[in-house]
Amino acid sequence: MLQGQAGQTYRVLLTGGRAPVTLDLARMLHRSGHLVFIAESMERHLCRTSSAVEQCVLVPSPRHHTQEYLSALEHWVKIWQIDVLIPMCEEVFYVAAGAERLRQHCRVLVSSLEQLHVLHHKYDFNMLAKSMGLSVPDTHLIQTPQEWLEKQHVLKGDWVWKPVYSRFAAKVRMPRLEGSNIVINKDENKNVNRRTEELHRPQISAPEKLNSLHHDPPGEDTLSLASPWVAQQYIHGRGLCTYSVVHEGHIVAHAAYDSRYRTGNVGASVFFEQVQHEGTRAWVEHFVWAAGFSGQIGFDFIEDVTGQVYAIECNPRATSGIHLFHPGNGLVRALLEPEVMLGEGIEVTPQSGDDKAMLALPMLGSGIRQIQSSRGSLRAWRTAWQGARDVVYVRQDRRPFFEQFAVVLAAWRLACSQQITLTEALTHDIEWNGEQR
Protein backbone atom coordinates (compact mmCIF):
# COMPACT_ATOMS: atom_id res chain seq x y z
CA MET A 1 0.00 0.00 0.00
CA LEU A 2 1.27 3.46 -0.86
CA GLN A 3 2.75 5.60 1.86
CA GLY A 4 1.91 9.26 1.27
CA GLN A 5 4.47 12.04 1.39
CA ALA A 6 3.93 15.77 1.74
CA GLY A 7 3.27 17.30 -1.66
CA GLN A 8 3.06 13.93 -3.45
CA THR A 9 0.96 13.90 -6.62
CA TYR A 10 -1.20 10.81 -7.06
CA ARG A 11 -2.56 9.47 -10.32
CA VAL A 12 -6.13 8.47 -9.43
CA LEU A 13 -8.57 6.43 -11.51
CA LEU A 14 -12.25 6.90 -10.67
CA THR A 15 -14.99 4.70 -12.09
CA GLY A 16 -18.61 5.80 -12.40
CA GLY A 17 -18.12 9.14 -14.17
CA ARG A 18 -21.89 9.53 -14.60
CA ALA A 19 -22.44 10.24 -10.89
CA PRO A 20 -22.42 13.70 -9.30
CA VAL A 21 -20.35 12.29 -6.43
CA THR A 22 -17.67 11.26 -8.90
CA LEU A 23 -17.62 14.69 -10.50
CA ASP A 24 -17.41 16.37 -7.09
CA LEU A 25 -14.57 14.10 -5.95
CA ALA A 26 -12.72 14.58 -9.25
CA ARG A 27 -12.78 18.34 -8.67
CA MET A 28 -11.59 17.90 -5.08
CA LEU A 29 -8.70 15.72 -6.25
CA HIS A 30 -7.81 18.21 -8.98
CA ARG A 31 -7.82 21.16 -6.53
CA SER A 32 -5.50 19.17 -4.29
CA GLY A 33 -2.99 18.79 -7.11
CA HIS A 34 -3.67 15.18 -8.14
CA LEU A 35 -4.20 13.81 -11.66
CA VAL A 36 -7.68 12.37 -12.25
CA PHE A 37 -8.64 9.74 -14.84
CA ILE A 38 -12.12 8.32 -15.50
CA ALA A 39 -13.28 4.88 -16.70
CA GLU A 40 -16.98 4.84 -17.57
CA SER A 41 -19.23 2.43 -19.49
CA MET A 42 -21.80 5.10 -20.39
CA GLU A 43 -20.83 7.17 -23.43
CA ARG A 44 -22.27 10.42 -22.07
CA HIS A 45 -21.41 11.19 -18.46
CA LEU A 46 -20.80 14.18 -16.20
CA CYS A 47 -17.03 13.80 -15.94
CA ARG A 48 -16.57 13.55 -19.72
CA THR A 49 -16.35 17.32 -20.19
CA SER A 50 -14.88 18.36 -16.83
CA SER A 51 -11.66 20.35 -16.82
CA ALA A 52 -10.72 18.54 -13.59
CA VAL A 53 -10.17 15.31 -15.51
CA GLU A 54 -7.00 14.45 -17.43
CA GLN A 55 -8.50 11.71 -19.60
CA CYS A 56 -11.66 9.61 -19.86
CA VAL A 57 -12.04 6.19 -21.45
CA LEU A 58 -15.18 4.30 -22.50
CA VAL A 59 -15.06 0.76 -21.09
CA PRO A 60 -17.38 -2.28 -21.45
CA SER A 61 -20.37 -2.69 -19.16
CA PRO A 62 -19.34 -4.19 -15.81
CA ARG A 63 -22.66 -6.00 -15.59
CA HIS A 64 -22.94 -7.38 -19.12
CA HIS A 65 -19.26 -7.82 -20.05
CA THR A 66 -17.53 -8.30 -16.73
CA GLN A 67 -14.26 -9.88 -17.83
CA GLU A 68 -13.82 -7.38 -20.65
CA TYR A 69 -14.49 -4.58 -18.15
CA LEU A 70 -11.85 -5.84 -15.73
CA SER A 71 -9.35 -6.32 -18.56
CA ALA A 72 -9.99 -2.74 -19.70
CA LEU A 73 -9.44 -1.41 -16.18
CA GLU A 74 -6.20 -3.34 -15.86
CA HIS A 75 -5.05 -2.06 -19.25
CA TRP A 76 -5.68 1.59 -18.43
CA VAL A 77 -4.26 1.28 -14.92
CA LYS A 78 -0.99 0.23 -16.55
CA ILE A 79 -1.13 2.76 -19.41
CA TRP A 80 -1.90 5.69 -17.11
CA GLN A 81 0.41 4.42 -14.34
CA ILE A 82 -2.38 4.72 -11.80
CA ASP A 83 -1.51 4.86 -8.10
CA VAL A 84 -5.00 4.50 -6.64
CA LEU A 85 -8.23 3.11 -8.13
CA ILE A 86 -11.44 4.27 -6.43
CA PRO A 87 -14.74 2.70 -7.60
CA MET A 88 -17.58 5.13 -6.96
CA CYS A 89 -20.88 3.48 -7.95
CA GLU A 90 -22.29 -0.03 -8.02
CA GLU A 91 -19.49 -1.24 -10.27
CA VAL A 92 -17.63 -1.53 -6.94
CA PHE A 93 -18.78 -5.17 -6.78
CA TYR A 94 -17.23 -6.02 -10.13
CA VAL A 95 -14.03 -4.18 -9.22
CA ALA A 96 -13.93 -6.17 -5.98
CA ALA A 97 -14.21 -9.40 -7.98
CA GLY A 98 -11.12 -8.41 -9.95
CA ALA A 99 -9.28 -6.66 -7.13
CA GLU A 100 -6.55 -9.29 -6.84
CA ARG A 101 -5.34 -8.74 -10.40
CA LEU A 102 -5.77 -4.96 -10.20
CA ARG A 103 -3.79 -4.75 -6.95
CA GLN A 104 -0.75 -6.03 -8.80
CA HIS A 105 -0.56 -2.57 -10.37
CA CYS A 106 -2.10 -0.09 -7.90
CA ARG A 107 -3.96 0.32 -4.63
CA VAL A 108 -7.67 -0.44 -4.96
CA LEU A 109 -10.03 1.16 -2.43
CA VAL A 110 -12.44 -1.73 -2.04
CA SER A 111 -13.29 -4.47 0.43
CA SER A 112 -13.78 -8.14 -0.48
CA LEU A 113 -16.68 -9.16 -2.70
CA GLU A 114 -17.92 -11.53 -0.01
CA GLN A 115 -18.17 -8.74 2.54
CA LEU A 116 -19.68 -6.29 0.06
CA HIS A 117 -22.36 -8.83 -0.81
CA VAL A 118 -23.44 -9.20 2.80
CA LEU A 119 -23.68 -5.42 3.18
CA HIS A 120 -25.57 -4.95 -0.10
CA HIS A 121 -28.09 -7.74 0.61
CA LYS A 122 -30.77 -6.04 2.68
CA TYR A 123 -31.63 -9.10 4.79
CA ASP A 124 -28.06 -10.32 5.35
CA PHE A 125 -26.98 -6.81 6.38
CA ASN A 126 -29.86 -6.62 8.83
CA MET A 127 -28.94 -9.96 10.38
CA LEU A 128 -25.25 -9.01 10.63
CA ALA A 129 -26.00 -5.72 12.39
CA LYS A 130 -28.45 -7.48 14.70
CA SER A 131 -25.79 -10.06 15.61
CA MET A 132 -23.55 -7.15 16.70
CA GLY A 133 -26.22 -5.91 19.10
CA LEU A 134 -27.04 -2.88 16.94
CA SER A 135 -30.56 -1.54 16.41
CA VAL A 136 -32.29 -2.49 13.15
CA PRO A 137 -35.95 -2.85 12.20
CA ASP A 138 -37.56 -6.27 12.41
CA THR A 139 -36.97 -7.75 8.95
CA HIS A 140 -38.19 -10.93 7.22
CA LEU A 141 -36.78 -12.60 4.11
CA ILE A 142 -39.34 -13.56 1.45
CA GLN A 143 -38.10 -15.97 -1.22
CA THR A 144 -41.28 -17.37 -2.74
CA PRO A 145 -44.78 -16.09 -3.55
CA GLN A 146 -46.07 -18.61 -1.00
CA GLU A 147 -43.96 -17.01 1.74
CA TRP A 148 -45.33 -13.63 0.72
CA LEU A 149 -48.89 -14.87 1.21
CA GLU A 150 -48.01 -16.42 4.56
CA LYS A 151 -46.41 -13.20 5.82
CA GLN A 152 -49.59 -11.29 4.98
CA HIS A 153 -51.40 -13.25 7.67
CA VAL A 154 -48.59 -13.24 10.23
CA LEU A 155 -47.17 -9.73 10.15
CA LYS A 156 -49.13 -7.09 12.05
CA GLY A 157 -48.68 -3.32 11.83
CA ASP A 158 -46.97 -1.28 9.11
CA TRP A 159 -44.35 -2.87 6.85
CA VAL A 160 -42.12 -1.78 3.99
CA TRP A 161 -41.53 -4.26 1.17
CA LYS A 162 -38.44 -4.10 -1.06
CA PRO A 163 -36.13 -6.34 -3.09
CA VAL A 164 -33.01 -7.52 -1.30
CA TYR A 165 -31.01 -6.08 -4.22
CA SER A 166 -32.14 -2.57 -5.09
CA ARG A 167 -30.90 0.99 -5.21
CA PHE A 168 -32.39 4.48 -4.89
CA ALA A 169 -35.58 3.03 -3.36
CA ALA A 170 -36.49 1.39 -6.67
CA LYS A 171 -39.57 -0.85 -6.40
CA VAL A 172 -40.03 -0.09 -2.70
CA ARG A 173 -43.62 -0.62 -1.52
CA MET A 174 -44.60 1.62 1.36
CA PRO A 175 -47.46 0.70 3.74
CA ARG A 176 -50.89 2.26 3.54
CA LEU A 177 -50.83 4.87 6.30
CA GLU A 178 -53.97 6.81 6.94
CA GLY A 179 -54.07 10.53 7.60
CA SER A 180 -53.09 10.93 11.26
CA ASN A 181 -50.13 13.16 12.10
CA ILE A 182 -47.04 12.03 13.96
CA VAL A 183 -44.14 13.89 15.54
CA ILE A 184 -40.89 13.02 13.72
CA ASN A 185 -38.53 15.62 15.18
CA LYS A 186 -38.64 15.53 18.94
CA ASP A 187 -36.38 18.58 19.23
CA GLU A 188 -38.40 20.88 16.97
CA ASN A 189 -41.77 19.19 17.53
CA LYS A 190 -42.66 19.37 13.83
CA ASN A 191 -45.71 17.48 12.64
CA VAL A 192 -45.85 15.94 9.19
CA ASN A 193 -48.49 13.95 7.41
CA ARG A 194 -47.90 10.26 7.28
CA ARG A 195 -47.60 8.89 3.77
CA THR A 196 -50.64 7.30 2.16
CA GLU A 197 -49.39 4.91 -0.44
CA GLU A 198 -50.99 1.66 -1.60
CA LEU A 199 -49.02 -1.50 -0.92
CA HIS A 200 -48.78 -3.59 -4.08
CA ARG A 201 -47.87 -7.23 -4.10
CA PRO A 202 -44.15 -7.68 -4.89
CA GLN A 203 -43.38 -9.60 -8.07
CA ILE A 204 -41.08 -12.32 -6.76
CA SER A 205 -39.38 -14.12 -9.61
CA ALA A 206 -39.33 -17.87 -9.99
CA PRO A 207 -36.07 -19.65 -9.16
CA GLU A 208 -33.40 -19.50 -11.80
CA LYS A 209 -29.72 -20.27 -12.04
CA LEU A 210 -27.58 -17.17 -12.00
CA ASN A 211 -24.48 -17.14 -14.17
CA SER A 212 -21.22 -16.72 -12.33
CA LEU A 213 -19.08 -13.67 -12.81
CA HIS A 214 -16.69 -15.73 -14.93
CA HIS A 215 -19.52 -17.09 -17.13
CA ASP A 216 -18.87 -20.69 -16.09
CA PRO A 217 -21.74 -23.22 -16.06
CA PRO A 218 -23.59 -22.62 -12.78
CA GLY A 219 -23.28 -25.16 -10.02
CA GLU A 220 -25.79 -26.09 -7.35
CA ASP A 221 -24.44 -23.36 -5.08
CA THR A 222 -25.53 -20.70 -7.58
CA LEU A 223 -29.15 -21.83 -7.59
CA SER A 224 -31.03 -18.85 -6.23
CA LEU A 225 -34.12 -16.77 -6.59
CA ALA A 226 -33.78 -14.02 -9.15
CA SER A 227 -35.39 -11.47 -6.88
CA PRO A 228 -36.03 -12.24 -3.19
CA TRP A 229 -37.69 -9.51 -1.14
CA VAL A 230 -37.74 -8.39 2.46
CA ALA A 231 -40.56 -7.17 4.64
CA GLN A 232 -39.18 -4.55 7.02
CA GLN A 233 -40.98 -3.01 9.96
CA TYR A 234 -41.96 0.59 9.19
CA ILE A 235 -40.56 2.92 11.85
CA HIS A 236 -42.08 6.37 12.19
CA GLY A 237 -39.45 9.06 12.35
CA ARG A 238 -37.02 11.16 10.36
CA GLY A 239 -34.56 9.83 7.82
CA LEU A 240 -30.82 10.28 8.33
CA CYS A 241 -27.91 9.25 6.11
CA THR A 242 -24.21 8.83 6.79
CA TYR A 243 -21.10 8.59 4.66
CA SER A 244 -17.76 7.34 5.94
CA VAL A 245 -14.27 6.50 4.75
CA VAL A 246 -12.97 3.57 6.77
CA HIS A 247 -9.57 1.88 6.97
CA GLU A 248 -9.28 -1.52 8.63
CA GLY A 249 -12.26 -0.86 10.88
CA HIS A 250 -11.31 2.71 11.81
CA ILE A 251 -13.28 5.75 10.64
CA VAL A 252 -11.07 8.24 8.81
CA ALA A 253 -13.80 10.58 7.52
CA HIS A 254 -17.46 10.85 8.49
CA ALA A 255 -20.53 12.96 7.73
CA ALA A 256 -24.24 12.76 8.52
CA TYR A 257 -27.14 14.51 6.82
CA ASP A 258 -30.92 14.32 6.81
CA SER A 259 -33.22 13.33 3.96
CA ARG A 260 -35.37 16.42 3.76
CA TYR A 261 -35.76 16.60 -0.03
CA ARG A 262 -35.77 13.53 -2.25
CA THR A 263 -36.56 12.28 -5.73
CA GLY A 264 -40.18 11.32 -5.15
CA ASN A 265 -41.44 10.45 -1.68
CA VAL A 266 -38.89 7.75 -0.85
CA GLY A 267 -36.15 8.20 -3.45
CA ALA A 268 -32.57 9.43 -3.24
CA SER A 269 -31.71 12.63 -1.36
CA VAL A 270 -31.14 15.74 -3.49
CA PHE A 271 -30.33 18.27 -0.74
CA PHE A 272 -27.43 17.83 1.66
CA GLU A 273 -26.89 19.64 4.93
CA GLN A 274 -24.55 18.40 7.63
CA VAL A 275 -26.07 17.38 10.95
CA GLN A 276 -24.18 16.54 14.13
CA HIS A 277 -25.62 13.23 15.26
CA GLU A 278 -23.78 11.19 17.86
CA GLY A 279 -26.26 8.31 17.68
CA THR A 280 -25.56 7.48 14.06
CA ARG A 281 -21.84 8.14 14.51
CA ALA A 282 -21.64 5.64 17.38
CA TRP A 283 -23.67 3.06 15.42
CA VAL A 284 -21.35 3.33 12.39
CA GLU A 285 -18.20 3.19 14.53
CA HIS A 286 -19.38 0.00 16.23
CA PHE A 287 -20.38 -1.65 12.95
CA VAL A 288 -17.27 -0.94 10.85
CA TRP A 289 -14.96 -1.95 13.71
CA ALA A 290 -16.78 -5.24 14.26
CA ALA A 291 -16.87 -5.92 10.50
CA GLY A 292 -13.23 -4.91 9.94
CA PHE A 293 -14.38 -2.89 6.94
CA SER A 294 -12.17 -0.84 4.61
CA GLY A 295 -13.43 1.52 1.92
CA GLN A 296 -16.32 3.93 1.45
CA ILE A 297 -19.62 3.13 3.13
CA GLY A 298 -22.99 4.78 3.70
CA PHE A 299 -25.97 3.92 5.88
CA ASP A 300 -29.61 4.96 5.86
CA PHE A 301 -31.18 5.41 9.31
CA ILE A 302 -34.52 6.23 10.85
CA GLU A 303 -34.56 8.13 14.15
CA ASP A 304 -37.77 7.50 16.07
CA VAL A 305 -39.53 9.92 18.43
CA THR A 306 -37.42 8.71 21.38
CA GLY A 307 -34.14 9.46 19.59
CA GLN A 308 -33.33 5.79 18.96
CA VAL A 309 -31.72 5.21 15.55
CA TYR A 310 -32.33 2.15 13.38
CA ALA A 311 -30.20 1.30 10.34
CA ILE A 312 -32.51 0.31 7.51
CA GLU A 313 -29.90 -0.44 4.85
CA CYS A 314 -26.25 -0.12 3.86
CA ASN A 315 -24.55 1.21 0.72
CA PRO A 316 -20.97 -0.13 0.65
CA ARG A 317 -19.75 2.49 -1.84
CA ALA A 318 -19.53 6.24 -2.29
CA THR A 319 -22.69 8.15 -1.41
CA SER A 320 -23.88 11.74 -1.58
CA GLY A 321 -22.30 12.55 1.77
CA ILE A 322 -19.18 13.36 -0.27
CA HIS A 323 -20.83 16.65 -1.25
CA LEU A 324 -20.58 17.90 2.33
CA PHE A 325 -16.77 17.88 2.30
CA HIS A 326 -16.36 20.80 -0.13
CA PRO A 327 -13.66 21.96 -0.95
CA GLY A 328 -12.41 18.53 0.03
CA ASN A 329 -8.74 18.63 1.01
CA GLY A 330 -9.35 16.55 4.13
CA LEU A 331 -11.50 13.99 2.32
CA VAL A 332 -8.87 13.61 -0.40
CA ARG A 333 -6.24 12.77 2.23
CA ALA A 334 -8.62 10.32 3.92
CA LEU A 335 -9.11 8.46 0.64
CA LEU A 336 -5.51 8.54 -0.57
CA GLU A 337 -3.56 8.32 2.71
CA PRO A 338 -5.80 6.69 5.35
CA GLU A 339 -2.83 5.14 7.19
CA VAL A 340 -1.22 8.56 7.59
CA MET A 341 -4.47 10.06 8.87
CA LEU A 342 -4.87 7.29 11.43
CA GLY A 343 -1.27 7.69 12.51
CA GLU A 344 -1.91 11.39 13.10
CA GLY A 345 -5.14 10.64 14.97
CA ILE A 346 -7.19 12.73 12.54
CA GLU A 347 -10.83 12.11 11.60
CA VAL A 348 -12.10 14.35 8.83
CA THR A 349 -15.55 15.89 9.13
CA PRO A 350 -17.22 18.59 7.01
CA GLN A 351 -15.69 21.96 7.85
CA SER A 352 -18.92 23.84 8.43
CA GLY A 353 -22.63 23.21 8.55
CA ASP A 354 -23.01 26.41 6.54
CA ASP A 355 -21.87 24.67 3.33
CA LYS A 356 -25.06 23.10 1.96
CA ALA A 357 -25.21 21.28 -1.37
CA MET A 358 -27.93 20.19 -3.77
CA LEU A 359 -28.55 18.57 -7.12
CA ALA A 360 -30.31 21.49 -8.74
CA LEU A 361 -32.43 19.73 -11.38
CA PRO A 362 -34.06 17.12 -9.10
CA MET A 363 -34.23 19.74 -6.35
CA LEU A 364 -36.47 21.77 -8.67
CA GLY A 365 -38.73 18.74 -8.98
CA SER A 366 -38.93 18.59 -5.20
CA GLY A 367 -39.89 22.26 -5.19
CA ILE A 368 -42.79 21.58 -7.53
CA ARG A 369 -44.08 19.01 -5.05
CA GLN A 370 -43.85 21.61 -2.27
CA ILE A 371 -46.24 23.86 -4.22
CA GLN A 372 -48.88 21.20 -3.72
CA SER A 373 -48.16 21.15 0.01
CA SER A 374 -48.39 24.01 2.53
CA ARG A 375 -47.10 27.56 2.01
CA GLY A 376 -44.65 27.00 4.86
CA SER A 377 -43.17 23.98 3.08
CA LEU A 378 -42.61 26.04 -0.05
CA ARG A 379 -40.91 28.80 1.97
CA ALA A 380 -38.64 26.26 3.63
CA TRP A 381 -37.75 24.78 0.25
CA ARG A 382 -36.97 28.24 -1.16
CA THR A 383 -34.67 28.97 1.77
CA ALA A 384 -32.89 25.66 1.24
CA TRP A 385 -32.54 26.35 -2.49
CA GLN A 386 -31.08 29.80 -1.99
CA GLY A 387 -28.59 28.64 0.62
CA ALA A 388 -27.11 25.65 -1.25
CA ARG A 389 -24.48 25.25 -3.96
CA ASP A 390 -25.30 23.17 -7.01
CA VAL A 391 -22.98 20.18 -7.06
CA VAL A 392 -22.85 20.01 -10.86
CA TYR A 393 -22.52 23.70 -11.78
CA VAL A 394 -19.16 25.32 -11.04
CA ARG A 395 -18.27 28.62 -12.69
CA GLN A 396 -14.73 27.46 -13.50
CA ASP A 397 -15.98 24.11 -14.85
CA ARG A 398 -19.34 24.74 -16.51
CA ARG A 399 -19.47 22.08 -19.19
CA PRO A 400 -20.67 19.22 -16.93
CA PHE A 401 -23.79 21.27 -16.18
CA PHE A 402 -24.79 21.10 -19.83
CA GLU A 403 -23.59 17.53 -20.20
CA GLN A 404 -26.13 16.40 -17.59
CA PHE A 405 -28.96 17.05 -20.04
CA ALA A 406 -27.32 14.70 -22.56
CA VAL A 407 -26.90 12.11 -19.81
CA VAL A 408 -30.59 12.28 -18.89
CA LEU A 409 -31.64 12.14 -22.56
CA ALA A 410 -29.53 9.03 -23.20
CA ALA A 411 -30.97 7.38 -20.07
CA TRP A 412 -34.51 8.32 -21.13
CA ARG A 413 -34.01 6.67 -24.52
CA LEU A 414 -32.69 3.53 -22.84
CA ALA A 415 -35.61 3.55 -20.40
CA CYS A 416 -38.07 3.71 -23.28
CA SER A 417 -36.37 0.93 -25.24
CA GLN A 418 -36.03 -1.37 -22.21
CA GLN A 419 -39.36 -0.40 -20.63
CA ILE A 420 -37.72 0.49 -17.33
CA THR A 421 -37.72 3.62 -15.20
CA LEU A 422 -35.32 6.51 -15.76
CA THR A 423 -33.59 5.73 -12.46
CA GLU A 424 -33.14 2.09 -13.46
CA ALA A 425 -31.75 3.18 -16.85
CA LEU A 426 -29.05 5.26 -15.14
CA THR A 427 -27.69 2.11 -13.44
CA HIS A 428 -28.75 -0.52 -15.97
CA ASP A 429 -25.21 -1.45 -17.07
CA ILE A 430 -23.50 -1.34 -13.65
CA GLU A 431 -25.98 -2.70 -11.12
CA TRP A 432 -25.14 -5.88 -9.23
CA ASN A 433 -27.74 -8.32 -7.92
CA GLY A 434 -25.69 -11.08 -6.35
CA GLU A 435 -24.52 -12.66 -9.58
CA GLN A 436 -21.56 -14.21 -7.77
CA ARG A 437 -21.42 -15.08 -4.10
Alpha-carbon distance of 362 to 422, in angstroms, equals 13
**Would you state the pLDDT for residue 31?**
96
Mean pLDDT over the full length of the chain: 85
| Per-residue confidence band for 330, with pLDDT thresholds at 50, 70 and 90 | very high
| Per-residue confidence band for 370, with pLDDT thresholds at 50, 70 and 90 | confident
Q: Which of 66-75, 133-142, 293-302, 376-385 has the lowest mean pLDDT?
A: 376-385
Per-residue CA distances from 359 to 26, 70, 300, 363, 403 (Å): 16, 31, 19, 6, 14
- Is cis: bond before 338, omega within 30 of 0? no
Residue 213 in this model has a pLDDT that exceeds 80: no
Alpha-carbon distance of 185 to 304, in angstroms, equals 8
**Would you state the pLDDT for residue 176?**
64
Q: CB within 8 A of 107, min separation 6: which ones?
A: 1, 2, 83, 84, 85
Per-residue CA distances from 293 to 50, 60, 61, 156, 249 (Å): 32, 29, 27, 35, 5
- Topology of domain 10-110+398-437, per CATH? Rossmann fold (3.40.50)
Q: Which residue has the higher pLDDT, 327 or 391?
A: 391
Q: Cβ(191)–Cβ(119) under 8 Å?
A: no
**Would you state the pLDDT for residue 375?**
66
Alpha-carbon distance of 68 to 330, in angstroms, equals 35
How does pLDDT run across 26-61, given as a tens digit for each residue? 999 999 999 999 999 999 999 999 999 999 999 999
Share of residues in the chain with pLDDT > 70 (%):
84
Alpha-carbon distance of 209 to 192, in angstroms, equals 45
How does pLDDT run across 217-261, given as a tens digit for each residue? 223 333 234 578 999 999 999 999 999 999 999 999 999 998 788
How does pLDDT run across 85-130, given as a tens digit for each residue? 999 999 999 999 999 999 999 999 999 999 999 999 999 999 999 9
From the list 120, 118, 119, 95, the residue with the least C-alpha distance to 108 is 95
Neighbours of 108 (CB within 10 A): 23
Spans of all domains in the chain: 10-110+398-437, 116-133+147-158+185-191+232-390
**Would you state the pLDDT for residue 153?**
77
Please report, as a single letter, which amino acid is at residue 277: H
| Per-residue confidence band for 374, with pLDDT thresholds at 50, 70 and 90 | low
Task: Tell the CATH superfamily of the 116-133+147-158+185-191+232-390 domain.
Answer: ATP-grasp fold, B domain (3.30.470.20)
Q: CB within 8 A of 353, min separation 6: which ones?
A: 273, 274, 275, 276
For residue 80, give the DSSP letter.
T
Residue 372 in this model has a pLDDT that exceeds 80: no
Structural element, H or E, at residue 129:
helix 122-131
Q: Cβ(160)–Cβ(231) under 8 Å?
A: yes
Q: Rounded to a whole number, what is the distance in angstroms from the first to the last CA of the chain? A: 27
Alpha-carbon distance of 272 to 117, in angstroms, equals 27
Q: At what angle do helices 360-371 and 375-386 cross, to 10 degrees?
A: 160
Residue 318 in this model has a pLDDT that exceeds 80: yes
From the list 15, 5, 46, 50, the residue with the least C-alpha distance to 30 is 50
Look at phi and psi of residue 81 and say left if phi exceeds 0, alpha if psi is from -120 to 50, else beta.
Answer: left
Q: What phi and psi values does residue 78 have, to the nearest 5 degrees?
A: -75, -45
| Same fold flag, 10-110+398-437 and 116-133+147-158+185-191+232-390 | no
Q: Which of 317-331, 349-363, 392-406 has the lowest mean pLDDT?
A: 349-363
**Would you state the pLDDT for residue 37?**
98
Share of residues in the chain with pLDDT > 90 (%):
63
